[in-house]
Amino acid sequence: MVKDYVVFDLETTGLSPDKDTIIEIGALKVIQGKVADRFSEFINPHQKLTQQISELTGITDDMLAGARNLQVVVGDFVDFCEDYVVVGHNLGFDYRFTKMAAEKYHLPFEHEGIDTLKIAKTVHKDLPSRSLGALCEHYGIINSSAHRAYHDALATAKLYQTLAHYFETSEPKLFVPEKMSFKAKKQQPMTKKQKAYLKDLCKYHKIEFNDAMEQMTMSEASRWIDKTILQYGRMKRFNRSDRNE
């Protein structure tokens, strides 16, 4: 069993790394089987959360309003991870989001990983569900705040150690870290026309145009404009071709 690793979990605005963004990162660094450091921080998405996400995570717009931007938090998280093996439950999901965010700001995020979901699918074929919640219930692991990033990361760390205790001897290959292979699509920066319209839209609706908006990609700008128009109403006639040019 790997003794030194970082377990992490994310909360996001949705399921697509291309369309959605990270709103919380929770992680713990384990050295020789003991928690040596912790990471827990909100990220301001600069957009309103859907009711579904707020109900699922318990995170509200007010909780994110004063949080730091994605670039800063992801930069700190990349530093926190150093070159450790990363562990997660359904690790590919969290890794993809983090990798895309890191690449957007030209930050390195290359790790070997261990996925507790992958382990559970092999050793617990009998269980009707191998979700983190179902496995915690199966092993009596208490997760006091499920669907909050740090608490899910802590529950995953306990699950990893429990699975290793019972199955590492019989299934040693499941506990060998694998290279995480995910190539993020190259993102194009927003166009001058998008930026000009975005500034006008913010000014019209009294929304602060901040550094995070300055760093938006073309697709992010298009989605933000769409959501703002839907939320606040149209400022003026605006064709889709204008949003993407």
**Residue 174 three-state SS:** helix
Residue 202 gets the label, from left (phi > 0), alpha (psi -120 to 50) or beta, of alpha
CA 1 to chain centre: 26
Q: Are 199 and 221 in contact (CB under 8 A)?
A: no
Check residue 9 and give its pLDDT: 97
Largest pairwise CA distance in the chain: 66
Task: Please say whether the dihedral angle defined by the alpha carbons of residues 92, 37, 111 and 124, taken in this order, is positive or negative.
Answer: negative
Q: What is the pLDDT of residues 218-231, one digit of tens each?
A: 877 787 777 777 66
User: What average pLDDT does the segment 17-44 reach?
Assistant: 95
Q: What is the pLDDT of residues 150-184, one digit of tens each?
A: 999 999 999 999 999 999 999 999 999 999 987 66
Q: What is the pLDDT of residues 186-209, one digit of tens each?
A: 667 888 888 888 888 888 878 777
d(CA 21, CA 37): 25
For the chain, list the domains and their CATH numbers: 5-179 (3.30.420.10), 192-232 (no CATH)
Q: What is the pLDDT of residues 33-86, one digit of tens each?
A: 999 999 999 999 998 999 989 998 999 999 999 999 999 999 999 999 999 999
